Amino acid sequence: MSGPFTRIRLIGLGIAALIAAIDQIVKWYVVGPLNLRSVQKIDLLPFFDLTYTENRGISLGMLQATNMEMRWLLVGLTAVIALIVLVWLMRERKLGDIVGLALILGGAIGNIRDRYVLGYVIDYADLHIGSFRPFLVFNIADAAITIGVVIILARSLFLREKDENSDGNTVPAEN
């Protein structure tokens, strides 16, 4: 590991830690001072509400943890995925990819902590247009994971094309 690569990896780890911390602080706020668990719903804007939800599954409610064994299986599965993302982040050399991976890692850590401590993930962000809801109720960790995945996909799809010259040979990417 040389100097600049170490620095950008540390930036990535810092972003992951910041996302996980912000996620946990907001979850504490909506459950604590806002008492969203009891209130269940707070109307904020015509298109955005706070709606308390306990997500016992993973993405899109799949693999519901209906018992303790399934809960710990989901904790283990998501921890393995987070570990793979961490290893990938530590091997990556491009800041753009590191940022995407850091968002995924930070979001995963926030949701893993919920599942480990509570047995479910706290979701609260309810984006809608009238009664149409383009997303399930989500949280900051979910949003960070989604944005991170979009960054990684966009960079792999669009930057790969720019890295190829007309002879079909690849040229090194700048960042």
- Among all residues, which ones are annotated catalytic? 123, 142
- How far is Cα 93 from Cα 4, in angstroms, rounded to an integer? 9
Buried b / exposed e along 54-82 (16+ C-beta atoms within 10 A): ebbebeeeeeebeeeeebeebbeebeeeb
- How far is Cα 116 from Cα 119, in angstroms, rounded to an integer? 6
- How far is Cα 175 from Cα 159, in angstroms, rounded to an integer? 10
- How far is Cα 164 from Cα 81, in angstroms, rounded to an integer? 31
Q: Tabulate helix, strand, coil % of the chain (nearest 5).
A: 60, 15, 25
Instruction: Look up residue 60 and give its two tokens.
Output: 């899109």
Q: Please give the DSSP secondary-structure letter assigned to residue 32.
A: T
